[in-house]
Amino acid sequence: MTTPRDLLIVFGSVQRVMRSEKAAREHGLDVDAGPAPRSVSSECGVVLEARSADANALSDILDTLKLVPKAVYRRQSGTWTPGTLRSTVSVDAVKLTRGSAYGGCGAKLSKGLLHTVLCGLPRLESDDLIVGIESADDAGVMKVSDELAIIHTTDFFPPMVDDPYTFGRIAATNALSDVWAMGGTPLAAMNLVSYPLKELGRDALKEILRGGLEAMAESGAVLAGGHTVEGQELLYGLAVTGTVHPDKVWRNGGALPGDALVLTKPLGTGLVTTAAKGEMAEADHITTAMRWMTTLNKDAALVLRNLDPHAVTDVTGFGLAGHAAEMAEASGCALELDLEALPAMPGALEAAATGLVPVGAGKNRTSIAAVLEIADGADELRVDLALDPQTSGGLLAAVSPDAAESLVRRLPGAAIVGRVTDGDAGAIRLL
């Protein structure tokens, strides 16, 4: 299953469509030449179909080819509406990451510090609260009736990329992920914004919100409102409400010895974006990382629903190893991760080799040091990959070995990365 193409680029001839398609594919973009929808006017009847997450990369390619589109359409709420290819805000003029010590989910407080802060605070409990804060799950779940439960979650963070539209789409994609990690369906979302208006101006904010809206539209959720304040640092994300049957809630606990561990996206967003911030990342590597960060976990969740997963979580700021440790603790088992099996985004290991490791990776190692075992002779670059804080990462699922094989066959980018074993609850072994 693939993310639907939600961008149409209209040219004046079939030849220009073919040239742009060939060049885009050579850069690894998901594009295709197809017939123009009835609602879209095209002189040749053929358009280039693409993903809006690749819009800026496509714009660069077309500029190189000196091809100017006659029109651009974006799918919004099932309708093709006129739009622009490139963000209306110049990335050169607006550097969102300027001055940010952390970006994306790498800005999360460490697990250990968060535990210390929360320890001793009173709990507000209810018999209808199915999932609360006690298990470090991805979202809270409240039972409404015997047939309906509501999922509550929120995620926001500072930018990890400079392009406002892309940042907005990544942040929204990341926030929506928690609902799918619980086995649910996103219903509605509310924008959460802290924005330095004097520094960035109004146009960048509009692009951030546009990127978020397009991720919401693709997810099937609607925007219900939001809250925006003027602050010294840019922060954006969503509060999301989803629905799920009370008996079909996925949790990070429940993994069984003998289960296989499947990861649905490659790792390395923290490493690649750190390299990009230092202007030491190749353009293709940045484009690929952005494509994964803007890929919803919707398809992965739909496949998993037919495979009876025993435990599920999404991989974000604590890195694969950190979130695996939470799954191990909640399940009362140990987890083993095969370092050589970990799928890496292009440029991630190269960034690690040159020392471009995000600060969050060190925090993640410290947080799980008491339960972490690293095999003798382990590849330290791949250890960095396992600890790398992910932004809008994939789902980590504990499933039967047969289900794992089925998942990998049906979901491009998925990989079997380890197994569940008997052992001390919460133990993580990197082999």
Domains and CATH numbers, the chain: 7-82 (3.30.70.1530), 104-248 (3.30.1330.10), 260-430 (3.90.650.10)
Predicted pLDDT of residue 103 = 61
Do 169 and 211 touch, CB atoms closer than 8 A? yes
pLDDT in tens, 163-197: 888 889 999 999 999 999 989 999 999 999 999 88
So which residues are the catalytic ones? 105
**Residue whose structure tokens are 């490493």:** 271
> What are the DSSP calls for 361-412, one per residue?
HHHHHHHTTTTEEE-TT--HHHHHHHHPPPSS--EEEEE-HHHHHHHHHHST
More confident residue, 89 or 326: 326
Q: Is the confidence at residue 334, as pLDDT, over 60?
A: yes
Residues 8-12 have a mean pLDDT of: 82
pLDDT in tens, 67-125: 878 778 777 656 676 666 765 555 555 567 765 656 655 566 656 666 677 666 777 67
Going through 158-207 in order, the beta strands assigned E by DSSP cover 185-195
Cα dihedral 80, 81, 82, 84 in deg (nearest 10): -90
Predicted pLDDT of residue 147 = 92
pLDDT in tens, 237-260: 999 999 999 999 898 889 999 999
Predicted pLDDT of residue 1 = 44
pLDDT in tens, 196-206: 888 888 888 88
| pLDDT > 70 in the chain, percent | 87
